[in-house]
Homo-oligomer: A and B are copies of this chain.
Amino acid sequence: MTKSRVVNLDELRAHCQKCSLYRLCMPMGLEQGDLERLDRIIHRRRPVEKGEYLYRLGDPFQSVYALRAGSLKTFTTNHEGHEQIIGFHLPGELLGLDAIAGRVHVTSAKALETVSVCELPFERLEELSLQIPGLQRHLLSLMSEELQHEHCHLAVLARAPVESRLASFLCQLSDRFRARGYSATDFNLSMSRNDIANLLGMAVETISRLFSQFQDQGLLQVERKHVLIRDLPALQALANRCNPDIRGESALNRQEN
């Protein structure tokens, strides 16, 4: 009880201006006035407890959600009831953008731990984006980033051997933690082995074996949810077998000298 009251007070206090995450979920260089206008359309929802849904596949689309604290997974469900995880989400990320086109949610979002979110009614966000150029650009950028990210995920699923898949997953998590000011090498996994396996298109047993293998090779230490990366470069080398090589292929196709 006391706890829930504290959370609520926190939420009331959590205006964009004070929020440590706004540089992740909202555009840089917004004027004070714009930030306030933005802040005014945002609802702070009560926390979503572990295992609860923020939204479900098929729900009408009203809002996008900025994740303030906690983490969650998004997934689709096919007609046989099989769940396919699309991604895990960390504070500062915007959820639900894939529902804009059809005005209906095409994924479900389930909390992996207690989650608090800011709800942004999409109609109002759209109006505001017409008035604040930086906001429009930011929305487009966020979606573009999401597309890029899914491209990488596609490449991993299409080709990569299992070691690269897990390495890629861990490196990506590491990057995202770093970007949020947390340790890039020492963190906790909020998702189960099962969820990781699902995301990466492999069997739980394989995940488990790979964690052991990586540990034996001195790449990392795992104990239950806790991961300590010991050799990030080596892990990145494994991962890079998939990621696109932007500077790359110079030797092959771009020799201009």
Contact = CB atoms under 8 A, between A and B. Distances in A.
A234 interface: no
A62 interface: no
B154 A84 contact: yes
A77 B100 CA distance: 30
A126 B141 CA distance: 12
A154 B151 contact: no
Contacts of A159: 82, 84, 201
B201 A76 contact: no
A153 interface: yes
Interface of A: 57-58, 76-82, 84, 86, 97-102, 104, 106-107, 126, 129-130, 133, 136-137, 139-148, 150-155, 157-159, 198-201, 240-249, 252
Contacts of A158: 84, 157, 198-201
Contacts of A76: 151-152, 155, 244
13 contacts: A76-B151, A78-B240, A98-B144, A106-B246, A126-B140, A130-B130, A130-B133, A139-B140, A140-B143, A143-B143, A154-B154, A157-B158, A157-B201
A76 B200 CA distance: 19
B98 A147 contact: yes
A245 B151 CA distance: 23
Given A81-B248, A100-B140, 20 more contacts: A57-B248, A58-B247, A76-B151, A77-B248, A78-B248, A80-B241, A84-B158, A84-B242, A107-B151, A126-B137, A130-B133, A130-B136, A139-B140, A140-B143, A143-B147, A154-B154, A157-B157, A157-B158, A158-B198, A158-B200
